[in-house]
Amino acid sequence: MNSIRNALLADLYGLTMSACYFENRMVAPATFSLYIRKYGPHRSYYVSAGIDEVLDFLERFQYLDEELDFLQSTGLFSTDFLNHLEKLRFTGELFAIPEGRLFFKDEPILEITAPIMEAQLVETFVINAVNLQVSIASKAARCNHAAGGKSLVDFSLRRTQGTDAGMKVARASFIAGFGATSNVLAGKLYSIPIAGTMAHSFVLSFEEEIEAFRAFARTFPESTVLLIDTYDTVSGAKKAARVGREMLERGHKLKGVRLDSGDTAKLSKEVRRILDEAGLSEVIIFASGGFDEFEIEEVLSKGARIDAFGVGTKMGVSADAPYNDIAYKLVEYDGRPVLKLSRAKKTLVNQKQVFRVTRDGKMTGDTIGVRTEALEGAPLLECMMRNGKRLAALEPLPRIRERFLAEFSSLAPPNKAIVNPEIYPVHLSPMLEAAQKRTIREVKKRELGESS
Amino acid sequence: MNSIRNALLADLYGLTMSACYFENRMVAPATFSLYIRKYGPHRSYYVSAGIDEVLDFLERFQYLDEELDFLQSTGLFSTDFLNHLEKLRFTGELFAIPEGRLFFKDEPILEITAPIMEAQLVETFVINAVNLQVSIASKAARCNHAAGGKSLVDFSLRRTQGTDAGMKVARASFIAGFGATSNVLAGKLYSIPIAGTMAHSFVLSFEEEIEAFRAFARTFPESTVLLIDTYDTVSGAKKAARVGREMLERGHKLKGVRLDSGDTAKLSKEVRRILDEAGLSEVIIFASGGFDEFEIEEVLSKGARIDAFGVGTKMGVSADAPYNDIAYKLVEYDGRPVLKLSRAKKTLVNQKQVFRVTRDGKMTGDTIGVRTEALEGAPLLECMMRNGKRLAALEPLPRIRERFLAEFSSLAPPNKAIVNPEIYPVHLSPMLEAAQKRTIREVKKRELGESS
């Protein structure tokens, strides 16, 4: 609905490779794994997100006439191949870790098994959809953890990387514990609570700051949050307190004030005192301007009297980790385990499953095994699509959010530290380890002429 | 066409402020300036981009019935106000720096003048559209400068922040000198040349690497670029040379090989030697994997024998500067200059113009002045919309690209250094400087009780 779900939203090489598969009658099933190869800065966990969009894309996947016309115009493809594309649909199977669950480096977020051409043609979109929402949900989870119970509002829309990102950031941050978004369209489409205050421009458009405050309070007698730093935060707080008293006299309540600049830890204490002395102790202090998990942790450690944060740009672009080292890799073709040789970048062969052991409500470790193994722990990857048909029902966002909050509380505090967290234990099963070694040995012998 | 252009794609506060403007009958014209307040890391110039999308959005701006129904359901707005929104269109004027031109810190990229409600309601979208394309065009310009004439292909789609960003990155990087994109849909919608090679999965799906190479060469006898690092780059290069010779014997030509990992500077020399010794000196070497301007400059300084680069993720998310300190600020209301007081963040009052002086084909300095001034130099901001109607015709991308390349060549080399560039001189006109000081003095007196 909100993002482009077009079969041409893909890298050209998917089509050229497919043309070659077509000519060589290569139709055997292939399994691709999507996983993160390396933790980003201070990252020690990821939150699954974006799976629903992938399912939707796969179910609708097809090339329309005007798209085929364009492909023909490139001169790269045979008519036979284009006729084949016209009839092509996604007929494969998808296993994935449900949205809102935690996962770790090397663990497959999803695995797709389908005739190789189908699995290849959807690559670009699948990575794009999952990568962004995982980045944002994970960054937002870190913000929520740092805030330790204070409410968070997504303020990022103006500086997200495009409009599709703006929608996905609202969705992913809500999954990861945010309470509301400023994005009105996300409120409409995803039923996320919406919130907002006022801009400096509003204050500037009145002759005097206090007149701006009074006008807003008249229009919104129950939900006014006054932005008090347009000229000077302390002087703004005093004017807000005056307007707050006037509202009380009319039987209304000022909801809050917002700080958007300066030393917010220090200013918040001063503003709190001004409000309290005016008998406005229920008026909340809302802070915005450059916050992410690092700044939230810092101001709270300085004893800031802040009740809620507007978290914008840095969360909305995951500024310290704007992309993941995420890859969609072929791990099995026609029943044969395969991998790319690389010292730095590990691919795990075979169709896989991840088993999570939880003891007394605490996650103690994961094991990545072969899909058919029965290991200790609860399997994470669920079959969500078979024969191109979605099995998993659409889940309401609040349910995904609850799943996240419950699982996050079972992760040990050292694994969620904002700076230099401990790495959560993830093992390979002996069976997967053996298959891995065997495949590497065979490949080296065949391609590099090395003896085992 | 490719991004969401919905009036609800906005921060809630635009609507709450507007409700208050409506109640207070505030309909006077307001001018907002969009500008970058601070240079990002190693940034010393920006490339204008995203203006076309803004014009398109403004021209179509309106609230549809289902959107008004949603706003009503929030309980925040009066029926009178919603009826007013139903009839609301953007009727204002827009001045902007044409896409592809260079601009600098503090210079307005665009200025919107309209009844305050209209100018406020479009804020979020306007920032979102311009911020991303400017970020990417500027990052891509840096890549293109570092590449010093080698061709660049946008490979970023899989890891851009969402699908809208994927499209805009293809567009903005092409404007800034890239030669092609892997994004097929961008090829179709924007007529940008498309390019692609093959993935590791393609090589893995064959029993042997050389068979994968042979199959691809048969399907694409004129446009094959072989990916040679699946198992080992040097051994892959030897197999590619063998296939290249076989192609020659059939009267075809191997186009290139691609390196995607390892020490590409060193490997490229070895691969060049292998290809040359096989009589394949026309086969180009294409490199990808983690490149942006910093890595391109580094490998070329080591004498890498690379003919073209696939530039992906780091450019596609502007990884070292994933957002700009960009703001849309009210600078004039009802003929009165206004500004927010802030030590760190400067707002320049009034409707403005930027004058660029060029001598002997070299840009020597810009002056930001009041819109009505006639200063030395060519004015940059052009009136592109009046009474809500677009004046500027849609420009073909190649023309915008040429404008960029021409202007970029007139910027002095020290201003375009990849690391620690010199700052380009930007002055304020005496008239603007005086208006600025007068406004600050008046605001301080009025709001803070300071005497002048």
Q: Say if residue A1's pLDDT is above 70.
A: no
Mutate which of B82, B127, B161, B190 to disrupt the A interface (most A C-beta within 10 Å)?
B161
Binned at pLDDT 50, 70 and 90, residue A392 comes out as confident
Interface test with B, best of A71, A133, A161, A343 (most B CBs within 10 A): A161
Interface contact flag, A165 B164, Cβ < 8 Å: yes
Q: A193 CB near a chain B CB, below 8 Å?
A: no
- The pLDDT tens digits for B178-219 are 999 999 999 999 999 999 989 999 999 999 999 999 999 999
Touching A: B residues 307-326, CB under 8 Å: 313-314, 316-319, 322-324, 326
Instruction: State whether B205 and A330 contact (CB < 8 Å).
Output: yes
The predicted model scores a pTM of 0.97
Q: How confident is the model at residue B345 (pLDDT cuts 50, 70, 90)?
A: confident
What does the alpha-carbon distance between residue B332 and residue B423 come to, in Å, rounded to a whole number?
29
DSSP letters for A372-391 = T---SSEE--EEEEETTEE-
The answer to whether the Cβ–Cβ distance between B123 and A199 falls below 8 Å is: yes
H or E element, residue A152: strand A151-154
Tens of pLDDT, residue by residue over A130-142, are 999 999 999 999 9
B394: how many CB neighbours lie within 10 A of its CB?
A: 9
CB-nearest to B317 from A116, A161, A339 is A161
Q: How far apart are CA B260 and CA B228, in angstroms?
A: 8
* Residue partners of B338: CB distance under 8 A and separation at least 6: A204, A205, B330, B331, B332, B349, B439, B443
Q: Is B72 on the interface with A (CB under 8 A)?
A: no
Q: Determine what percent of chain B is predicted with pLDDT higher than 70.
A: 98
The pair of structure tokens assigned to A173 is: 């941050």
Which residues numbered 248-307 in B keep a CB inside 8 Å of some CB on A? 261
Write down how long chain B is: 452
CA B367 to chain centre: 23
Which of B5, B10, B4 lies closest to B70, judged by CA?
B10
Q: What is the ipTM of this complex?
A: 0.97
Which residues is B333 bridged to in the sheet? Answer: B30, B336
User: What are the distances in angstroms from CA B262 to CA A348, B296, B351?
Assistant: 20, 14, 53
Instruction: Determine contact: A103 vs chain B, CB below 8 A.
Output: no
| Chain segment B209-237, per-residue pLDDT in tens | 999 999 999 999 999 999 999 999 999 99
**Which of B33, B130, B159 to mutate to probe the A interface, most A CBs <10 Å?**
B159
- Interchain CB distance below 8 Å, A215 and B17: no
Q: Judge: A200–B127 Cβ closer than 8 Å, yes or no.
A: no
Instruction: List all residues of chain B from 129 to 188 with a beta carbon under 8 Å from chain A.
Output: 131-132, 135, 155, 157-168, 182-185, 187-188
CATH topology of domain B196-288: TIM Barrel (3.20.20)
Closest CB from B67, B200, B323 relative to A340: B200
Report residue A449's pLDDT band, with 50, 70 and 90 as the boundaries. confident
Share of chain A above pLDDT 90, in %: 94
| CATH number, span A149-316 | 3.20.20.70
Region A435-447 average pLDDT? 93
The residues near B164 (Cβ < 8 Å, ≥ 6 apart) are A3, A4, A162, A163, A164, A165, B2, B3, B4
Convert the pLDDT of each residue in A252-305 to its tens digit. Answer: 999 999 999 999 999 999 999 999 999 999 999 999 999 999 999 999 999 999
Q: Kindly state whether A452 is in contact with chain B, defined as any CB-CB distance less than 8 angstroms.
A: no
Fold for B12-136+321-448, please state it.
nicotinate phosphoribosyltransferase (3.20.140)
Q: Which residues of A touch B329 (CB under 8 A)?
A: 200-201
In this predicted structure, the answer to whether residue A182 has a pLDDT above a threshold of 50 is: yes
Q: Confidence band (pLDDT; 50, 70, 90) for A451? A: low
User: For residue A449, what are the contacts with CB-CB under 8 A and spacing of at least 6?
Assistant: none
Task: Calculate mean pLDDT across residues B408-433.
Answer: 98
Most B CBs within 10 A among A84, A163, A209, A348, hence the mutation to make, goes to A163
CA nearest A223 in B: which residue? Answer: B76
CB-closest option in B198, B201, B220 to A329: B201
The alpha-carbon gap from B211 to the nearest alpha carbon of chain A, in Å, equals 11
pLDDT digits (tens, 9 = 90+) for A79-98: 999 999 999 999 999 999 99
* A67 CB neighbour count, 10 Å cutoff: 19
* Closest chain B CA to residue A73: B188
Q: How far is B246 from chain A (nearest CA, A)?
A: 18
For A54-75, how does the pLDDT look when each residue is reduced to its tens digit (9 = 90+)? 999 999 999 999 999 999 999 9
Distance set, CA B185 to CA A63, A167, B386 (Å):
12, 21, 32
pLDDT band at B5 (very low <50, low <70, confident <90, very high): confident
- Interface contact B342, partner A, CB < 8 A: yes
pLDDT average, residue stretch A369-378: 96
As a whole number, mean pLDDT of residues A213-225 equals 96
d(CA B426, CA B107): 8
Q: Where are the domains of chain B?
A: 12-136+321-448, 196-288
